[in-house]
Structure 1
């Protein structure tokens, strides 16, 4: 009677979990909840940015062309809101005779020239208040210096004379260094801050950050070409770009959770497949003749 060799039972087959089963584990559900909170915050930031991308109450067309009192538009020391840049204003006051200063690199209809600027001491202010005024333009430096001298003489002869100025209100262009090789006192930017450093009688003085470009030349000068500013767009494309960025970040927060969960699932499946392969190899080795002989020995 012959006997059949005994074979070891095959190792049990282990079925890996599905991606859905991994995602439903408490650890990944908690991480999903955190990702949803982060995505919600980022989405809210995007909505907030988008709400400021469109101006729902833009200024009426032509509003800058309606002449308004300077005091109603901006206060001394305050910054000028964007919709009011180029606003036509009117202001009255007296000239400070010693403070007519020439500013170069001024263009009138693409022709380079010079402005003559003055310090206007605002009438009716509670405390001494001044604003820089561009009185007019000329293409010649000699004519600009002559005009400044004449304006100084006229103001010095009648220092109490009140003048009315109507022009556009423009923001400070910022300080700058004159080009190399020229007089270091040369001004190439219209900057009330730099003019203030050269004005006289400035103790306890309030000063406007902006200046007025007179639309009617004062003294022996030409009118300053100052067209109406372009109408501002109701859409701020930079804010729209930021809003899109927040939306992308919100989506990335959820994608990151999915990617981490999938990586964990793939690693778990790979580890189970390796374990099964090792178990199968061991089973095959023990069931081979050499393995059986080793077992009998």
Structure 2
């Protein structure tokens, strides 16, 4: 039997079967990976920028389709109302890595639009509150672009919840800003300017994220490839079994066996 299994004709079959098995298993794993990746959240395609007035309302909330949308705005910065948002990394996304090392301040300056309403704008980020870039506020009519973000809750982050110096806040909360900028009509949310204003460090703000939709077709493809692999093993087994049986039959009917009998 061993001589039959290592015969040249069966050695080629063994090699071919192993190659087919590896190929089919890898193809099935690839289709399974495509299936798994299809369910993961991913960045949505960025629509064309629109005027911030169309998405950020006065005294209202923000529709889900407006979150992280690119917007444009034109107006005049109100330097007297500028604030610093404390204990912030240069990103609106969930911080990662060494958060303490990245802590600094968002420079929050309201932009007065043509209709007199205020749109809070994060012009950029600084490491220290006394950075000269904080006071370098563009004068006159200013046009900017950026991403629209929803207002934050006053207790949405951990940090110095109280005892902040004058001119600093913990979060970009529309309700808190209404108290600080009394008498003003304030639009909901805030814009993260891109590019940053002046020599400020740009604050990273990712595009909208949408949930993935599982492509069950790829899971079926993976199963098919693995079924093919099982069928290849089945065919190999039958070829080998038939070869062994045939060799046994030939040896039993060979002249040498007859003479010995």
Normalization by structure 1: what TM-score? 0.48
Query: Offset of 1:104 from its aligned partner?
Result: 1.1
**Residue 121 of structure 2 is aligned with which of 115, 126, 133?**
133
Aligned: 1:227 with 2:206: yes
Query: Offset of 1:216 from its aligned partner?
Result: 1.1
Tell me, in whole angstroms, the C-alpha distance in 2 between the residues paired with 1:163 and 1:105. Answer: 28
**Residue 149 of structure 1 is aligned with which of 118, 135, 140?**
135
**Residue 94 of structure 1 is aligned with which of 73, 76, 80?**
76
Contact 1:178 1:186 (8 Å CA) reproduced = no
Query: Offset of 1:162 from its aligned partner?
Result: 0.9
Pick closer, same or farther for the CA change 1:163–1:191 going to 2, 3 Å. Answer: same
Tell me, in whole angstroms, the C-alpha distance in 1 between the residues paired with 2:84 and 2:128. Answer: 11
Tell me, in whole angstroms, the C-alpha distance in 1 between the residues paired with 2:203 and 2:56. Answer: 22
Correspondence list, 1:189-268, <5 A: 189-199=171-181, 202-203=182-183, 205-233=184-212
Tell me, in whole angstroms, the C-alpha distance in 1 between the residues paired with 2:188 and 2:213. Answer: 26
Query: Any unmatched runs of 5+ in structure 1?
Result: 1-59, 156-160, 236-297
Give aligned pairs, total: 160
Correspondence list, 1:43-122, <5 A: 61-63=44-46, 65-108=47-90, 110=96, 111-122=102-113
**Residue 165 of structure 1 is aligned with which of 135, 144, 148?**
144
- The alignment partner of 1:216 has SS state of coil
Pick closer, same or farther for the CA change 1:219–1:192 going to 2, 3 Å. Answer: farther
Tell me, in whole angstroms, the C-alpha distance in 2 between the residues paired with 1:120 and 1:168. Answer: 14
- The alignment partner of 1:78 has SS state of coil
How large is the Cα RMSD of the aligned pairs? 2.6
Contact 1:100 1:148 (8 Å CA) reproduced = no
- Deviation track 1:199-245 (CA, whole Å, cap 9, x = no partner) reads 3xx53x3211111011111123111111213224579xxxxxxxxxx
Query: Any unmatched runs of 5+ in structure 2?
Result: 1-42, 97-101, 215-261
Contact 1:105 1:189 (8 Å CA) reproduced = no
Contact 2:145 2:193 (8 Å CA) reproduced = yes
Query: Offset of 1:139 from its aligned partner?
Result: 1.9
Tell me, in whole angstroms, the C-alpha distance in 1 between the residues paired with 2:55 and 2:142. Answer: 20
Tell me, in whole angstroms, the C-alpha distance in 2 between the residues paired with 1:120 and 1:84. Answer: 19
Tell me, in whole angstroms, the C-alpha distance in 1 between the residues paired with 2:206 and 2:54. Answer: 22
Contact 1:136 1:214 (8 Å CA) reproduced = yes
- The alignment partner of 2:175 has SS state of helix
Query: Offset of 1:61 from its aligned partner?
Result: 3.9
Pick closer, same or farther for the CA change 1:93–1:180 going to 2, 3 Å. Answer: closer
